[in-house]
Amino acid sequence: MDTLFEALEELFERRFHLPVEQVDALQGELGGSGRKIVRLRSGQATAIGVLYHVREENVAFLTFSRHFRRHGLPVPEIYAENLGRGAYLEEDLGDTTLFEFLSANRRGETIGAQAAEAYRQVVDLLPRFQIEAGRDLDYTVCYPRAVFDAQSIAWDLNYFKYYFLKLAGIPFHEQSLEDDFERLTRFLLSADHDYFLYRDFQSRNILLHEGKPFFVDYQGGRKGALQYDIASLLYDAKADLPPRLRYELLDRYIDRLGDFITIERPVFLNHYYAYVYVRIMQALGAYGFRGFYERKTHFLQSVPYALKNVCWLLENVELPIALPTLGEAFRSMVASERLRNLSVAAPPKAPILPAEPSVLTVRIFSFSYRRGIPKDETGHGGGFVFDARAIPNPGREERFKALTGTDAPVREHLDQQQGVQEFLRSAASLVEASVDTYQRRGFTSLTVAFGCTGGQHRSVYFAEQLAKRLRGRKGVEVVVRHLELERGDQ
């Protein structure tokens, strides 16, 4: 057997007391998670094996799986695990996803009775995950965040901005879009968000086994609002559910919520479509990253379906808050002939290589939002702007007020704060991916800015940490400026 799967084979033999006879890959380039998923067989014995290097995510999935099964929810049984080697074995529930079942039971806009009934069963079970099982769930194992909070939303919105809007060539005013993002975030978080949020509740993460739905891929779950998951299911891009069925399923879901909590329909619906939008933006960011950036063009085939959903929302829904710049970006997306024609994705073009080696200058700024986002001095426009205000502010503590993010006590304090390293990893991942591409294409300038309230602690810390990661890379020159600290030196 391939030694790559040795850990899984050992788990299989321990569980079934049989040697593995066959290993079949189940997820390859079509997957976006980085997991290696295989089916292991020996005679009539079969199991699904997963290899993944992120221990925290594995712990979350295993903990949630056992918790849900204790509540009688249909999730796979965990047979065995070896967290040290990133391996676990789970029940084999077959290969038929809800998406595949839907595709086989539809004719255009007409959804077959069996597929519609499968969706009804799924909708009936969702409140049990969110409310019944969510009440006593151990949220300390959630990864990367325990709550779908302002930081989580910021990551999703920036993913959409940098990997979809920018790579798709959709024009927007940076500061005005950030203002819309801030208003949208405040509005989203004004909804009650004390429930289990599955996070990726969509048709490919639901399996139909012996005529009943079973649920997988909830390792990104955390506390959040009820509206997010039902929005994920009903506006799942390629599932392309017709509006009439969406309305029916939404009404059914709200009715089922009433079995567990007192629910006021107008209050629920007031926030619902904002969550629809944020889920669509999260998905478009993923399509852009996998498709435009990584050139896995099959991901781009979902873009026209997502645009169809955006078009319907623009025509039929008025949000309770004003988002003028974001709305204009949506209208530009819907009007883009290039994006509408992505349903048959073109093969990726070969990367454009520079004729001669060039130096990429990465300019990293820290700044205060009180004075606004720094202007691009190179004339290229674009770049990254990261909002660090969701991170706890050291400046609120007397011992740090006279210090800055360059001082060791502040660095050590921030190193220990929840969310800091995940924020840094996420920001650095985005920037480093662009650095690689910019170097291949011969670009010479990239701007990155970190902002916080005063421009003294958090933004300075993150600017310095990113600079440390980039220094020493061949062909990269790093220039760091702390704009608020410079003003203090004058």
Structure confidence at residue 2 (pLDDT): 46
Cα separation, 138 vs 408, whole angstroms = 34
Tokens at residue 264, please?
């006021």
**Residue in the block written with tokens 């002939």:** 337
Contacts made by residues 309-314, CB under 8 angstroms, sequence distance 24+: 309/235, 309/237, 309/276, 309/280, 310/280, 310/334, 312/243, 313/273, 313/276, 313/277
Of 34, 62, 90, which residue is a domain's last?
Answer: 90
Residues 229 and 291 in one domain: yes
Please say whether the beta carbons of 163 and 288 come within 8 A.
yes
pLDDT over 70 at 377, yes or no: no
* Confidence band, pLDDT 50/70/90 cuts, at residue 356: very low
Structure confidence at residue 357 (pLDDT): 52
In terms of Cα–Cα distance, which of 279, 280, 277, 289 is closest to 166? 289
Residues 184 and 266 in one domain: yes
Tokens at residue 97, please?
């996803």
Element holding 155 (H helix, E strand): helix 150-160
Structure confidence at residue 297 (pLDDT): 84
Residue 385 is assigned to a structural domain of this protein: yes
Cα separation, 117 vs 94, whole angstroms = 20
Give residue-wise pLDDT tens across range 22-53: 999 986 434 455 789 999 999 999 999 999 99
Residues 372 and 224 in one domain: no
Residues 332 and 188 in one domain: yes
Residues 196 and 113 in one domain: yes
Residue 335 is assigned to a structural domain of this protein: yes
Residues 403 and 274 in one domain: no
Give residue-wise pLDDT tens across range 117-136: 999 999 999 999 999 999 99
Residue 258 is assigned to a structural domain of this protein: yes
Give residue-wise pLDDT tens across range 66-106: 999 999 999 999 999 999 999 999 999 999 999 999 999 99
Please say whether the beta carbons of 404 and 460 come within 8 A.
yes
Residues 285 and 431 in one domain: no
Residues 333 and 368 in one domain: no
Please say whether the beta carbons of 164 and 288 come within 8 A.
yes
pLDDT over 60 at 349, yes or no: no
In angstroms, the Cα distances linking 80 to 13, 14, 73 are: 10, 8, 19
Lowest mean pLDDT among 215-219, 255-259, 398-402: 398-402
pLDDT over 70 at 283, yes or no: yes
Question: Looking at the 3D structure of the chain, how many domains does it have?
Answer: 3
Determine the structural domain holding residue 18 and report its residue range.
3-90
**Residue in the block written with tokens 């600290």:** 485
Structure confidence at residue 471 (pLDDT): 87
pLDDT over 80 at 330, yes or no: yes
Give residue-wise pLDDT tens across range 157-188: 999 999 999 999 999 999 999 999 999 999 99
Please say whether the beta carbons of 468 and 351 come within 8 A.
no
Structure confidence at residue 381 (pLDDT): 61
Structure confidence at residue 189 (pLDDT): 98
Cα separation, 284 vs 381, whole angstroms = 22
Residue 163 is assigned to a structural domain of this protein: yes
Q: What is the dihedral of CA 53, 59, 60, 62, to 10 degrees?
A: 110
Residue 260 is assigned to a structural domain of this protein: yes
Average pLDDT over residues 282-310: 92
Of 42, 59, 90, which residue is a domain's last?
Answer: 90
Structure confidence at residue 298 (pLDDT): 85
Residues 265 and 392 in one domain: no
Structure confidence at residue 27 (pLDDT): 62
Residue 25 is assigned to a structural domain of this protein: yes
Between 479 and 329, the more confident residue is 329
Element holding 478 (H helix, E strand): strand 476-482
- 163: Cβ contacts below 8 Å, ≥ 6 apart: 285, 286, 288, 289, 292, 293, 430
Give residue-wise pLDDT tens across range 422-463: 899 899 989 988 888 888 777 888 999 999 999 999 999 999
Burial 11-33, CB ≥16 within 10 A → b, else e:
bbeeebeeebeebeeeeeeeeee
- The single-letter code of the amino acid at 259 is D
Whether a cis peptide bond, with omega within 30° of 0, leads into 144 is: yes
Cα separation, 445 vs 360, whole angstroms = 5
Residues 17 and 109 in one domain: no
Average pLDDT over residues 285-295: 91
In terms of Cα–Cα distance, which of 368, 124, 147 is closest to 255? 124
pTM above 0.95, yes or no: no
Structure confidence at residue 353 (pLDDT): 36
- The single-letter code of the amino acid at 199 is R
**Residue in the block written with tokens 């950030």:** 178
pLDDT over 60 at 254, yes or no: yes
**Residue in the block written with tokens 């329909």:** 265
Structure confidence at residue 342 (pLDDT): 85
Cα separation, 359 vs 45, whole angstroms = 57
Residue 352 is assigned to a structural domain of this protein: no
Of 315, 343, 371, which residue is a domain's last?
Answer: 343
Burial 262-283, CB ≥16 within 10 A → b, else e:
ebeeeebebbbbbbbbbbbbbb
Cα separation, 232 vs 202, whole angstroms = 6
Residues 220 and 368 in one domain: no
Cα separation, 191 vs 180, whole angstroms = 18
Structure confidence at residue 24 (pLDDT): 92
Residues 383 and 411 in one domain: yes
pLDDT over 70 at 354, yes or no: no
In angstroms, the Cα distances linking 116 to 106, 112, 113, 245, 246 are: 10, 6, 5, 8, 10
Q: What is the dihedral of CA 313, 317, 321, 325, to 10 degrees?
A: 40
Lowest mean pLDDT among 11-15, 36-40, 291-295, 344-348: 344-348
What CATH number does the domain containing 62 carry? 3.30.200.20
Pairing between β-strand 360-368 and β-strand 445-452 as defined by DSSP bridges: parallel
Element holding 50 (H helix, E strand): strand 45-51
Residue 353 is assigned to a structural domain of this protein: no
pLDDT over 70 at 350, yes or no: no
Q: Please give the order of strands across the beta sheet that includes 87-90.
A: 22-27, 36-42, 45-51, 87-90, 78-82
pLDDT over 50 at 352, yes or no: no
What CATH number does the domain containing 321 carry? 3.90.1200.10
- 472: Cβ contacts below 8 Å, ≥ 6 apart: none
Average pLDDT over residues 311-327: 96
Burial 47-71, CB ≥16 within 10 A → b, else e:
bbbbbbeeeebbbbbbbbbebbbee
